[in-house]
Structure 1
Amino acid sequence: MKPVLFTLFGVEVWSFPFFLACGYLAGGGLAVRRAPREGIDPLDVVGLAFWTLLLGLLGARLGWVLLFLEYYRAHPALILEFQDGGLSFYGGLLAGLATVWGYGRLRGVPFHRMADLGALSTAFALSVGSVGLLLSGSCYGSACPPSSPFVFFAITFPDGSLGRVGETLYPTQPLLIAGNAAIFLYLRIAVEPKHHFEGEIFTTFLSAYTLLRFFVGWIEGSPQGGIGPLSDTQIVSLLLFLLARAWAAILRSRGEGTPWGNLPI
């Protein structure tokens, strides 16, 4: 669509990193605003946001490079090029969770309380950041046949896009934008006001997001490995969904009706 969003003082501003930054700032601002009502110092959120940005980006890029290891072995100079996308959310998630745990231990902030706060912000940030995927052409869909019910919403990328140019493709990016926005609204309206234990918002977010990525994976066109009909992303999504539900069940059994802060983690 528009990989280069605009030019500022002779410097090209790429749409993917621009909207990634916008999403992160918007999500971080939301977390800072909501922190006091959750008993968290906003300054702790600011400090954590810095470290999760740094380590999360490294984890996301590492996850992407590992996913396409053979390609980057042949083109090592491209490992540090971010402008065309190339970030794995799950790699960033694992690095981010490790950062939240470590920072929380240092600052005395309960892990699940901070994870709940971060889940809302992450869902919001992903919805904004996915606009960059659409404009750049990253995470494009597979070919959409004329008989598909999605044909009315199909996307054809023009010359200069990073996706498959000139083909009618499934609208994976709009689905991710709408899906992440729906997850945020569901967490904010249905889960947060009446959640029963620390970690419920986070595990609900992880469950919903992994389901979204699993089903979108059926119509993705980006080349990936996998097992049988499942792509690598779908396999990881399925495993993380099962982990999230088991995690939620354990927390519920230990924390139902328990005041915040009394959980051992």
Structure 2
Amino acid sequence: MNHLIAEINPVAFSLGGLEIAWYGILIGLGIIIAMSLASNEGDRKGMPNEFVIDMAFWAVPIAIVGARIYYVIFEWQYYLEHPEQIIQIWNGGIAIYGALLAGGITVYFFTKKKNVPFYLALDILAPGVLVAQAIGRWGNFINQEAHGTEVTRTFLENLFLPEFIINQMNINGTYYHPTFLYESLWSFIGFIVILILRRQSKTLREGEVFLTYVMWYSFGRFFIEGMRTDSLYLFDVIRVSQLLSVVLFIAAAAIWVYRRYNNYPKDPFYTEINLGMNQKSK
């Protein structure tokens, strides 16, 4: 049976000679939604007015730079031979873990400067970050990248996927695992789970919303990364994202246990926190 293959154009539209890619639009949309969710939650928790927006002003661009630096480090042999391409982020080559690490460091210093609890800021940001990740992965789908190993069309049809996804997973005549979709769904489900847990009285303490995010994402990423064909490697043996996923999962779990046994009952439950630092809460 012949199937019509119509790839989606990665370029959404052009403005003069400037091409606007779907990838950039989706990343931007994810960031806007994440900041909106976090800003509303920050207001509800009594954070200073405009705190989240001001923080995003620094954290977002630094996270993008971090995502690029992370990628370049683990592809250094290539960029050593092509140094002019290091800053050409528009040609691809960013890593979400680099963005998360750089963004997290930025949030730490920003909260210290504004005298806002670091863990609370992370708790407020975590669900929105998962939404942004879920949306951003569709940019990989449009670019036909970050996919998994070879599969058959029948395999994809048995997943009950829409025809447009199946067609887009046909790259040069070969079908591939839609790992972008696996991670997008995993992130969105995590968003729902964390929102539910965050609203439950006396369930999660301050900081544990964020730790739940870290464990949820790293657990799923470990298995999804194992399917991908474009992984960054350490010593040409270990998938960097898998190694980092294991380290982050164990670290988050250890911090959770440590804080529960050593800080109890010092750390308040998330539902009980209200800083009372904005005008709306007065």
- TM-score, normalization by structure 1: 0.88
Instruction: Letter of the 2:10 partner, please give it.
Output: P
Residue 138 of structure 1, CA deviation: 2.5
Matches for 1:155-166 after TM superposition, within 5 Å = 155=166, 157=168, 164-166=171-173
Question: Match for residue 214 of structure 2?
Answer: 206
Question: Match for residue 135 of structure 2?
Answer: 128
Q: In 1, distance between residues paired with 2:21 and 2:76?
A: 25
Question: Match for residue 259 of structure 2?
Answer: 251
Instruction: Letter of the 1:238 partner, please give it.
Output: V
Say what the alpha-carbon RMSD is for the aligned residues: 2.6
Q: In 1, distance between residues paired with 2:52 and 2:143?
A: 30
Q: In 1, distance between residues paired with 2:260 and 2:166?
A: 43
Residue 251 of structure 1, CA deviation: 2.4
Question: Match for residue 230 of structure 2?
Answer: 222
Residue 39 of structure 1, CA deviation: 2.2
- TM-score, normalization by structure 2: 0.83
Q: How many residues align?
A: 258
Q: In 2, distance between residues paired with 1:18 and 1:149?
A: 27
Q: In 1, distance between residues paired with 2:194 and 2:92?
A: 27
Give the one of 158, 176, 186 matched to 1:179.
Answer: 186
Q: Which has the larger radius of gyration?
A: 2
Instruction: Letter of the 2:222 partner, please give it.
Output: F
Question: Match for residue 169 of structure 1?
Answer: 176
Instruction: Letter of the 1:54 partner, please give it.
Output: P
Distance 1:191 1:228, change over 3 A: farther
Give the one of 235, 240, 260 matched to 2:248.
Answer: 240
Residues 231, 240 of structure 2: 8 Å contact kept: no
Matches for 1:56-135 after TM superposition, within 5 Å = 56-135=63-142
Residue 7 of structure 1, CA deviation: 1.9
1:69-115 deviations in Å (ceiling 9; x for gaps): 11111222222222343211111111111111101111000000000
Q: How high is the sequence identity, in percent, across the aligned residues?
A: 26
Matches for 1:142-153 after TM superposition, within 5 Å = 142-144=149-151, 152=159, 153=161
Residues 108, 118 of structure 2: 8 Å contact kept: yes
Distance 1:203 1:182, change over 3 A: same
Q: In 2, distance between residues paired with 1:175 and 1:12?
A: 29
SS at match of 2:148: coil
Give the one of 43, 49, 53 matched to 1:46.
Answer: 53
Q: In 2, distance between residues paired with 1:111 and 1:205?
A: 15
Question: Match for residue 278 of structure 2?
Answer: none
- Unpaired runs of 5+ residues, structure 1, are none
- Unpaired runs of 5+ residues, structure 2, are 1-7, 276-282
Residue 229 of structure 1, CA deviation: 7.0
Instruction: Letter of the 2:89 partner, please give it.
Output: F
Question: Match for residue 5 of structure 2?
Answer: none
Which one has more relative contact order, counting CA pairs under 8 Å at least 6 apart? Answer: 2
